[in-house]
A and B are shown apart, each in its own frame.
Chain A
Amino acid sequence: MSVIVLVEHTEGSIKKKSLEAVQYATSIAQKTGTTVSAIVLGTLPNDEMENLGQYGAHKVLNVPDARLNELHPRAYTTALLTAAQQEASKIIIMLHDINGRAVAPRVAGKLKAGLVAGALSYPDLDKGFVIKKAVFSGKAFAHVNITSDVKVITLIPNTFQLNKGEGKASIEKLDVNFSDNDFGITVKEVNKIKGEIPLADAQLVVSGGRGLKGPENWGILEDLAKELGAATACSRPVADAHWRPHHEHVGQTGGTVRPDLYIAVGISGAIQHLAGVNGSKNIVVINKDPEAPFFKAANYGVVGDALEVLPKLTEAVKKFRQNHK
């Protein structure tokens, strides 16, 4: 009767967001008096798998078939169905990411199970099995009750806090009867994108204004962008003065950006500038003038000299990245 959780891994290590999923599963298992079985498809060093115990996994069911190192939705489904049957599982957890979204609905369909795609909360068991998720692209939330016996949930990454504990999961090999059809998809080529991030598509943007004083100071801004994996942008006067190329100019008369995070450095926040950036989900403003209008449109503010604050922020991000591999 264990809670099953699909664990994603890449290049021999488990993705951090899958640890969140394991921990989420653990929380449910504790409330329902069961245990957590983590499913690892493909090949992964044993110690990585054992370490899932630190997040509450009781055991790992591993299918050490190297073909599964790549996503094969049908094969993944077959494996998960096998595991679910073997464990008599009623609750199956995955991530709401590219892989999870290809597999979870398939599994749910096969099991006639209710699916909550993109969970933002733990299930409320008092009211049934009620989970909160975003709808209308974040304009509202819905509280969804799963009424079927079996329940499938995909989690929004970075939503649930990690608490590392003690423990070691046992590893069992899971025998799965794959058919040829399970590997009907052949991966021909994989291209990881490197280099500059296009501004319009960027999830993270670092933008500089006249407060940076001159083009010679853009190095520290680019350092931060690089550390974050962010694109760079600027205010109009900066582009007009040729400190930065014109395609970086955002605002009413420039480009529009809607990233998850917009960091404005030395930009006053004129209405013309805001017009191009106020669709950003989060805005951080760094400005030495506490009265700068941009602070009113910001979620987080730092009052200080950009030339001093930027390197510190870059340092902090670097530290964070090292701790959250």
Chain B
Amino acid sequence: MSEIESIKAIKGGEFLIRETQADSVFIPEEWNEEQLMIAETCTNFLAQNVVPNLTRIDEQEEGLMPHLMEEAGALGLLSISIPEQYGGFGKDFKTSMLVTEKLGAGNSFSVAFSAHTGIGTLPILYYGNDAQKEKYIPKLASGEWKGAYCLTEPGAGSDANSGKARAKLSADGKYYLLTGQKMWITNAGFADVFTVFAKIDDDENLSAFIVEKDFEGLSLNTEEHKMGIKGSSTRQVFFNDCKVPVENLLSERQNGFKIAVNILNLGRIKLGGATIGASKEVITSAIRYANEREQFGRPISKYGAIRYKLAQQAIRTYASEAAIYRASQNMEEATEMYEASGLDPIKAKLKGTEQFAIEAAIIKVHASETLDYVVDEGVQIYGGMGYSAEAPMDRAYRDSRINRIFEGTNEINRMLTVDMMLKRALKGELDLMGPAQKVAGELMSVPDFGGADEEGLFIKEKKYIAGFKKAILMVAGAAVQKLMTQLGKEQEVLMYLADMLIELYVSESLQLRVEKLVGLKGEEAVKEKLDMMHVYINDAAVKIANAGREAINSFADGDERRMMLMGLKRFTKTEDINTTQARRNIAAKLIEANKYCY
């Protein structure tokens, strides 16, 4: 590998110990003309076909959702990054993320879309043999067939590998007979093809099967009554000696859990994309209402309390977006690298995605919690109308909540974030110990005040972010040393560490995005984005300090605690800034534009 390549080949999780160059990240301000056209098609599709029908969709009007899926299919939106040989458009991953983001504003439609194009299609695309792909992918790509994914069972949710569904070979050796029940299956009501996970005989691990809706022995329960995404079909699926031809075993026997995990890696970052798409839409509604609604003789958008909320909604969304597309680009580059090293494109894609599984988990949590913040404040901005089932915030609020639950609950994803990081360190893939020891050494030494007189727009933020990294390395290093193998059981500490990592990754992504943007457009053109960066990093420092303190206090005491708390203070110290003025600037632009405009 040449030196340039090796520099480009950033590894997943490395953000904790390495500095990233701004010009190496992808930022959404760089979408090209074709990508913007595709985005516009998505927006127009939602505006013309989905938004006018939201109520009918939520009432699950017979045939409506599958029809909308077919319409999306006719526009090509179900097959953005499916290879051309299977009737797709072979576009890069970022473009498919962009489509997911834009359609993410489509409430229940977005869930049906994401489930179909993600968990419904990808297991077959990535793990199917040629015959399976030829049979299923073109129809899934066009929308003629709809896909679903059956992993969860009544007794197996977060612990997905513990399912009871079983498969055994039929006497004539032609079929697997599948027995068991799956629950919470998105798109079940109209799906034609199900990827079903079950153990063969007494296997330790899951296997995966492609099951068609007409296979004998498959039946559906009625629709679940849900808090939100009411238009999304969710049902139990029962398998009673369901006859699955042996050629419909997906990949190899016992490879199912790996399939499930790898598909989830993609699903998580995609969920991130979809939720910021929804966030932007909700922010736009909130701004419009705030500009229209008058109380005490003025539009409520003139009030600081409301402007604060609008700014905060936008800052968090913009920051989340920075992280999402940074990681998407990384996945794409890693995929290209694996491909260049001789892997076939699909294996390369899986490995490239897996490489950034930590980032995907971080994004899943941050973006879904951003949307929840955005809809919550959206309701608040609408006041009483926010509580009306006929105003747009009601649906947004209810529909948002699922995102913290599926694709791995946010607790599971937080634990995974830390767990994967530590595992990679143990395997020697990620050198955390060296940097952690260096930080520990720094704790004993006189603080380094260097760089104070350096000039530059981002000097301070870069220093803060370097400090965040030190804080995490210090706490994580001490936790590992102290708790050793018990760390896995100290979930509270894991949660704090995850929160610190999430804030670090998003802060850094935002800083890099704004730095690159200033390089492209100049400082003057992106003033509000600089404000966003200042506010976000200011707040992140507080969050990281708090989480770090709670973590330290839970496992350290005496001098060690005191020393670490002092170190933490030093590593998370930021200069005081006027965040009120910054938020006002950010809100002013939103209010003027009367829509989300970042």
Chain A residues close to B by CB (< 8 Å): 252-253, 271-272, 274-275
Are B390's CB and A275's CB within 8 A? no
Query: What is the bound-complex CA distance between A272 and B289, given in angstroms?
Result: 10
Interface pairs A-B: 4 shortest CB-CB? A253-B390, A271-B293, A271-B292, A275-B292
Are A274's CB and B390's CB within 8 A? no
A-B contact count (CB 8 A): 10
What is the CB-to-nearest-CB distance from A269 to chain B, in angstroms, rounded to a whole number? 11
Tell yes or no: B391 within 8 A of A by CB.
yes
What is the CB-to-nearest-CB distance from A247 to chain B, in angstroms, rounded to a whole number? 15
Query: What is the bound-complex CA distance between A93 and B173, given in angstroms?
Result: 90
What is the CB-to-nearest-CB distance from B197 to chain A, in angstroms, rounded to a whole number? 43
What is the CB-to-nearest-CB distance from A294 to chain B, in angstroms, rounded to a whole number? 13
Instruction: Show 10 A/B contacts (Cβ-Cβ < 8 Å), sorted by A.
Output: A252-B390, A252-B391, A253-B390, A271-B292, A271-B293, A271-B294, A271-B385, A272-B385, A274-B292, A275-B292
Query: What is the bound-complex CA distance between A274 and B291, given in angstroms?
Result: 13
Residues of B contacting A253 in the complex (Cβ-Cβ under 8 angstroms): 390
Against A, the Cβ 8 Å flags (1 = close, 0 = not) of B355-396 are 000000000000000000000000000000100001100000
Residues of B contacting A271 in the complex (Cβ-Cβ under 8 angstroms): 292-294, 385
Residues of A contacting B390 in the complex (Cβ-Cβ under 8 angstroms): 252-253
Chain B residue nearest to A293 in the complex (CB): B294
B274-308, CB < 8 A from A = 292-294
What is the CB-to-nearest-CB distance from B156 to chain A, in angstroms, rounded to a whole number? 43
What is the CB-to-nearest-CB distance from B239 to chain A, in angstroms, rounded to a whole number? 44
What is the CB-to-nearest-CB distance from B298 to chain A, in angstroms, rounded to a whole number? 12
Residues of A contacting B293 in the complex (Cβ-Cβ under 8 angstroms): 271
Other A-B pairs, 8, CB within 8 Å; known A271-B293, A271-B385? A252-B390, A252-B391, A253-B390, A271-B292, A271-B294, A272-B385, A274-B292, A275-B292
Chain A residue nearest to B288 in the complex (CB): A275
Residues of B contacting A272 in the complex (Cβ-Cβ under 8 angstroms): 385
Query: What is the bound-complex CA distance between A271 and B291, given in angstroms?
Result: 11
Query: What is the bound-complex CA distance between A294 and B136, given in angstroms?
Result: 58
Query: What is the bound-complex CA distance between A274 and B288, given in angstroms?
Result: 13
What is the CB-to-nearest-CB distance from A293 to chain B, in angstroms, rounded to a whole number? 8
Residues of B contacting A275 in the complex (Cβ-Cβ under 8 angstroms): 292
Against A, the Cβ 8 Å flags (1 = close, 0 = not) of B513-531 are 0000000000000000000
What is the CB-to-nearest-CB distance from B393 to chain A, in angstroms, rounded to a whole number? 12
Which of B292, B294, B385, B391 gathers most chain A CB within 10 Å? B292
Residues of A contacting B391 in the complex (Cβ-Cβ under 8 angstroms): 252
What is the CB-to-nearest-CB distance from B437 to chain A, in angstroms, rounded to a whole number? 61
Chain A residue nearest to B293 in the complex (CB): A271
Query: What is the bound-complex CA distance between A272 and B293, given in angstroms?
Result: 10
B294-349, CB < 8 A from A = 294
What is the CB-to-nearest-CB distance from B151 to chain A, in angstroms, rounded to a whole number? 39
Residues of A contacting B294 in the complex (Cβ-Cβ under 8 angstroms): 271
Query: What is the bound-complex CA distance between A252 and B293, given in angstroms?
Result: 13
Chain B residue nearest to A275 in the complex (CB): B292
Residues of A contacting B385 in the complex (Cβ-Cβ under 8 angstroms): 271-272
Query: What is the bound-complex CA distance between A274 and B385, given in angstroms?
Result: 15
Query: What is the bound-complex CA distance between A274 and B390, given in angstroms?
Result: 16
Residues of B contacting A274 in the complex (Cβ-Cβ under 8 angstroms): 292
Query: What is the bound-complex CA distance between A272 and B390, given in angstroms?
Result: 11
What is the CB-to-nearest-CB distance from B293 to chain A, in angstroms, rounded to a whole number? 6
Residues of A contacting B292 in the complex (Cβ-Cβ under 8 angstroms): 271, 274-275
Query: What is the bound-complex CA distance between A110 and B238, given in angstroms?
Result: 77
Query: What is the bound-complex CA distance between A272 and B391, given in angstroms?
Result: 9
Chain B residue nearest to A272 in the complex (CB): B385
B242-297, CB < 8 A from A = 292-294
Query: What is the bound-complex CA distance between A253 and B292, given in angstroms?
Result: 16
Query: What is the bound-complex CA distance between A271 and B385, given in angstroms?
Result: 10
Query: What is the bound-complex CA distance between A294 and B391, given in angstroms?
Result: 21
Chain A residue nearest to B297 in the complex (CB): A296
Query: What is the bound-complex CA distance between A274 and B294, given in angstroms?
Result: 12
Chain B residue nearest to A296 in the complex (CB): B294
Query: What is the bound-complex CA distance between A252 and B391, given in angstroms?
Result: 8
Query: What is the bound-complex CA distance between A271 and B391, given in angstroms?
Result: 12
Query: What is the bound-complex CA distance between A56 and B385, given in angstroms?
Result: 60
What is the CB-to-nearest-CB distance from B89 to chain A, in angstroms, rounded to a whole number? 36
Query: What is the bound-complex CA distance between A274 and B391, given in angstroms?
Result: 14
Query: What is the bound-complex CA distance between A286 and B352, given in angstroms?
Result: 67
Query: What is the bound-complex CA distance between A253 and B395, given in angstroms?
Result: 14
Chain B residue nearest to A278 in the complex (CB): B292
What is the CB-to-nearest-CB distance from B263 to chain A, in angstroms, rounded to a whole number? 40
Query: What is the bound-complex CA distance between A260 and B147, given in angstroms?
Result: 49
What is the CB-to-nearest-CB distance from B419 to chain A, in angstroms, rounded to a whole number? 48
Query: What is the bound-complex CA distance between A275 and B392, given in angstroms?
Result: 13
Residues of B contacting A252 in the complex (Cβ-Cβ under 8 angstroms): 390-391
Query: What is the bound-complex CA distance between A252 and B390, given in angstroms?
Result: 9
Chain A residue nearest to B55 in the complex (CB): A253
Chain A residue nearest to B392 in the complex (CB): A252
What is the CB-to-nearest-CB distance from B103 to chain A, in angstroms, rounded to a whole number? 24
Query: What is the bound-complex CA distance between A253 and B385, given in angstroms?
Result: 12
Chain B residue nearest to A236 in the complex (CB): B390
Query: What is the bound-complex CA distance between A251 and B391, given in angstroms?
Result: 12
Chain A residue nearest to B391 in the complex (CB): A252
What is the CB-to-nearest-CB distance from A251 to chain B, in angstroms, rounded to a whole number? 10
What is the CB-to-nearest-CB distance from B447 to chain A, in angstroms, rounded to a whole number? 56
What is the CB-to-nearest-CB distance from A32 to chain B, in angstroms, rounded to a whole number? 46
B2-51, CB < 8 A from A = none
What is the CB-to-nearest-CB distance from B382 to chain A, in angstroms, rounded to a whole number? 10
Query: What is the bound-complex CA distance between A271 and B300, given in angstroms?
Result: 13
What is the CB-to-nearest-CB distance from A275 to chain B, in angstroms, rounded to a whole number? 7
Query: What is the bound-complex CA distance between A271 and B294, given in angstroms?
Result: 9
What is the CB-to-nearest-CB distance from B467 to chain A, in angstroms, rounded to a whole number? 47
Query: What is the bound-complex CA distance between A271 and B292, given in angstroms?
Result: 7
Query: What is the bound-complex CA distance between A169 and B294, given in angstroms?
Result: 59
Query: What is the bound-complex CA distance between A271 and B293, given in angstroms?
Result: 7
What is the CB-to-nearest-CB distance from A252 to chain B, in angstroms, rounded to a whole number? 7
What is the CB-to-nearest-CB distance from B405 to chain A, in angstroms, rounded to a whole number? 30
What is the CB-to-nearest-CB distance from B527 to chain A, in angstroms, rounded to a whole number? 27
Query: What is the bound-complex CA distance between A275 and B385, given in angstroms?
Result: 13
Query: What is the bound-complex CA distance between A67 and B571, given in angstroms?
Result: 90
What is the CB-to-nearest-CB distance from A291 to chain B, in angstroms, rounded to a whole number? 13
What is the CB-to-nearest-CB distance from A142 to chain B, in angstroms, rounded to a whole number? 25
What is the CB-to-nearest-CB distance from B51 to chain A, in angstroms, rounded to a whole number? 13
Against A, the Cβ 8 Å flags (1 = close, 0 = not) of B385-427 are 1000011000000000000000000000000000000000000
